[in-house]
Amino acid sequence: MDALQEVLEGREGRARAQEQLLKAGLTVVQVSLNIPGFPKRLKNDLFCIEKTSWLVRERCLSLGWGIVQEVGLLNGAGYAVLLGVGPGADPKRLKQTCLILEENLAWGRAIDLDVRGQRGIIGRGILGIPPRRCLLCGEEAKHCSREGRHDGKLLRKIVEELIRDFTP
């Protein structure tokens, strides 16, 4: 199986796990890394995601929302932690909380905190927040990625630098 196929199967595995949490009436936060290229693993990625998951849990608890279930997935899409938050969690407020983390953590540009409620994914646009910017040029990151504007090795190196200080 090639690397792309492994990533696609890994993403399907994440989607299935999310669906299980959603069926239980929970709001889902997926904590993962934005890693350009293949493989979807980097040195210190597990520690970075675990630390970030801990911070998300802490914020949820401070807002009065419990973490009902937690799932760690390590597959072709890399490592991800799914947090089943609820009941009573407000998906929009949860996404705002996650965006504050992404914007304020030293490694926040490498982290991806996706929030999914019963009505679907809560994106930045729903909150009136502009899309993520490219690590290199500042344009919309999705456009650069889709068009292959930048050297993937250089982008990967930037992400490696962002998470390099995580140690066991």
Asked whether residue 156 is assigned to any structural domain, the reply reads: yes
Residue pair 7/38 in contact (Cβ under 8 Å)? The answer is yes
Q: Note the pLDDT tens digit of each residue in 20-35.
A: 999 999 999 999 999 9
| β-pairing verdict for 111-117 and 66-75 | unpaired
Asked whether residue 75 is assigned to any structural domain, the reply reads: yes
Asked whether residue 13 is assigned to any structural domain, the reply reads: yes
Give the pLDDT confidence score for residue 81 in this predicted structure.
Answer: 98
Asked whether residue 149 is assigned to any structural domain, the reply reads: yes
* High-pLDDT (> 90) share of the chain, %: 88
Q: Note the pLDDT tens digit of each residue in 132-153.
A: 999 999 899 989 989 989 998 9
Specify the number of domains making up the chain: 1
pTM above the 0.95 mark? no
CA–CA separation, 100 and 135 (whole Å): 18
Structure tokens at 56: 């998300």
Q: Note the pLDDT tens digit of each residue in 56-94.
A: 999 999 999 999 999 999 999 999 999 999 988 999 999
Q: Which residues 6+ apart lie within 8 Å of 66 measured at CB?
A: 60, 85, 86
Asked whether residue 116 is assigned to any structural domain, the reply reads: yes
Asked whether residue 168 is assigned to any structural domain, the reply reads: no
- Segment (H or E) for 14: helix 3-23
Full residue range of the structural domain in which residue 77 is found: 3-163
Give 116's Cβ-side CA count (13 Å radius): 21
Q: Which residues 6+ apart lie within 8 Å of 7 measured at CB?
A: 38, 40, 76, 77
Asked whether residue 103 is assigned to any structural domain, the reply reads: yes
- Segment (H or E) for 130: none
Asked whether residue 20 is assigned to any structural domain, the reply reads: yes
Cis peptide before 91 (omega within 30 of 0): no
